[in-house]
Amino acid sequence: MTERHLVALPPERPRDPSEAATRVVEDVLADLDGAHRGVVVDSPPGAGKSTLVVRAAAHLAAAGERLMIVAQTNEQVDDLIDRIAGRHPEVTLGRLSASGYVPSERVLAHPAVRVAQKADDLAEHTVVIATGAKWATLAEGSWPWAIVDEAYQMRSDLLLRIAGRFERALFVGDPGQLDPFSTVEVERWAGLSWDPMRSAVSVLLAHNPELPVHRLPVSWRLPASAAPVVSDAFYPFTGFRAGTREGERRLEFQARGMGTTYDLALEEAAATGWALYELPARHTLRTDAEAVRATAALAVRLLQRGPVAHSEQGSAPVGADRVAIGAAHRDQVTAIRAALGPHGAGITVDTANRLQGREYDVTVVLHPLSGRRDATAFHLESGRLCVLASRHRHACVVVARAGIPELLDAHPSTEPVRLGVPVKFPDGWEANQSVLAHLARHRVQAD
């Protein structure tokens, strides 16, 4: 999780979430027409980041500006292409990619989008999109504008390599997600304002403190049951609210339960938006078979119950493609995938890292601290839990062994402190406590 900067609150906050969000977007677009060299937009989970990127791209394109878009993964690039091409067919769009890239169906669906390996081939295109890694291979070329998506997940050393390609830029991202990391010792640069390990936004603002920073104030993804929980735990100084009211989203099951603890947990989640499926306290391996089994079984049971999601977008059955399972470690993901079996086909299972930016109706989460005897910095990283607890539109079921509060209480607080490094908020330890305190009210104990 990245350090926070202060965001000036608008003088008066419109009560209607839609109006509040619209106002921020208008402010952002107005800033793009201004003289700022850069504009930053903080976007909490599901606050319409992609929509903003699409609008800003169209806005700049309409003003006759050539524009480059930087995303972090090929997946994200393809998502953006699909959205921009779908909504603004008039914009000429090019995708810059590495030689091994095979266009996805989402890209092939828009035959007007040109895929090329060399920037020269896209010189005539108004908007060119690529991953940060691809942009960094370019030695020349310059665009008047750039939009940098997921800018908090981008390491500042990558920004350094591509910043020469644009004159002005809009940086959009979620400050609450996972911090960039490295496999080597990085202490050498601690405290430097250009520390390559800091996020792109952090370094940008350290050197350009006068740039305007906006914050999207409404999460359209998170339901009213989740927005305050996630906001309080992970965005203590820059809160946001839900776009929908209590009761506006409902999850119903077409099939009746059989009174098993799985059913009880799912019913609790459907009724309140949260459930904690608690297994007996025990120290285990990471791939705790019982917890893995429960996680997979809850997801399968959910599908068997014929869930239907009612929301402001209407009513629709929740299929496997709208369900995700999240875990901290890759070996847990592998074990859960294996445990899902044929009834769970189509359910997404992934680590927090890979679930960043994704959205589902229902999620089942294997708590990172489940079964641990000691918490490590990895397990406590607040961004990890934040990603896992903020992917859902309707409900989130957390699977954990009992005893996590005790584990947190026993956690030795001896983290080294480096001079000049801004303090990170929230502290992972506190964020974990906060989420657990909430989950405790939605506890269903396994038999």
Partner 1 sequence: MSVLSSLARLRAASTGAAEPLATVRHCHLVDAPLVLVPLKLSGEAAAPLAVMLGAAPDDATLLVVPQPRNRDLRFAFAADLAKLVLNHIETSHGSVEELPPGKEGEERIRYGNAPQLLVPNRGGVAFLRLLGRSTRFRGTEGPYAVDPAVPVLGRWLTWFAERHDHPGSSLLHAMTELLRLHWATGQSSLEDGNLAALLGWIDPPDGLDGPSAAARAEDPVACPPAGPTTDPSFDNEVLAPAIAAYHESHGDPRALERLRAAVHGQVAPTWELMWRAVGVLRALPEGASVPGRWERDRDAFTYYHQTFGEAYPQARRDPPVRAARRLHDLERAQDAYDAQRAFDDPLVMAEHRLSGQAFGGLVTECEPDRLDETGKRPKLRPLLRIGTEDPVRLDPGTVVCNAARPALKGRIVEFDGGGVLLELTGGMGRRLTAEPGTVPGVGERVCFTSLSEGSWGAARFPDREDTPWTHGGPPAEYVPTDEDAEEDWS
Partner 2 sequence: MTETAPDLDRLRGDAPPRNHDARTIAALTANPGCARRGLMDAAGVDKDAVARHLGFPAPFGQSQFAITRGNAFEAQVKADGCAELLTLLRERLGLDVAEVAYDDLEVVAGNEGRELRHTRTRRLLARALETGEGTLFDHPLLRLEIAGRLAYLEPDVIAFQVRGRLHVIEIKSFAVVDGQAEPEQVAAAARQSAVYVLALRRLAAELGHDPGRVSHEVFLVCPENFSNRPTATPLDVRPQLAVLERQLARLTRVDAILEALPGDLVFEPGDALAESVRAVEARYAPECMAGCEMALFCRDEARACGATGALGRSIRDDLGGVDTIATALALADGSLHPSDDLAETAAQLRAAARLRDEALLAARGGAA
* Count of beta carbons in the 10 Å neighbourhood of residue 260: 13
Pick what 208 binds: partner 1, partner 2, none; C-beta below 5 to 8 Å, kind-dependent. partner 1
- Residue 141 interacts with partner 1 (CB under 8 A)? no
Measured torsion, CA atoms of residues 262, 264, 268, 271, in degrees rounded to the nearest 10 = 110
Choose the binding region for partner 1 from 113-121, 134-142, 318-326, 351-359 (rule: CB under 8 A).
134-142
Nearer to partner 2, 24 or 369 (CB): 369
* Count of beta carbons in the 10 Å neighbourhood of residue 232: 16
Binding-site member from 203, 233, 364, 404 for partner 1 (CB under 8 A): 203
For CA atoms 201, 202, 208, 214, the dihedral sign is: positive
Binding-site member from 156, 177, 348, 370 for partner 1 (CB under 8 A): 156
Nearer to partner 2, 396 or 404 (CB): 404
Cα angle, residue 385 at apex, residues 363 and 235 outer, rounded to 5°: 110
Burial of 89 (0-12, 13-18, 19+ CB in 10 A): exposed
Q: How far is the CB of 98 from partner 1 (least distance, A)?
A: 10
Binding-site member from 196, 212, 239, 257 for partner 1 (CB under 8 A): 196
Choose the binding region for partner 1 from 47-55, 132-140, 268-276, 364-372 (rule: CB under 8 A).
132-140
Pick what 405 binds: partner 2, partner 1, none; C-beta below 5 to 8 Å, kind-dependent. none
Q: How far is the CB of 4 from partner 2 (least distance, A)?
A: 12
Q: How far is the CB of 277 from partner 2 (least distance, A)?
A: 19
Q: How far is the CB of 221 from partner 2 (least distance, A)?
A: 29
Q: Which residues bind partner 2 (CB under 8 A)?
A: 187, 190-191, 282-285, 287-289, 371-374, 376, 406, 409-420, 422-423, 425, 427, 429-430
Q: How far is the CB of 440 from partner 2 (least distance, A)?
A: 17
Binding-site member from 1, 21, 197, 229 for partner 1 (CB under 8 A): 197
Binding-site member from 18, 108, 137, 345 for partner 1 (CB under 8 A): 137
Q: Are 263 and 257 in contact (CB under 8 A)?
A: yes
Pick what 151 binds: partner 2, partner 1, none; C-beta below 5 to 8 Å, kind-dependent. none
- Residue 376 interacts with partner 1 (CB under 8 A)? no
- For residues 434-445, one letter each, b for 16 or more C-beta atoms within 10 angstroms of the residue's C-beta and e for the rest, the string is bbbebbeebbbe
Binding site for partner 1 (CB under 8 A): 37-38, 136-137, 139, 156-157, 159-161, 163-164, 169, 182-186, 188-189, 192-197, 200, 203-204, 207-208, 330-331, 334
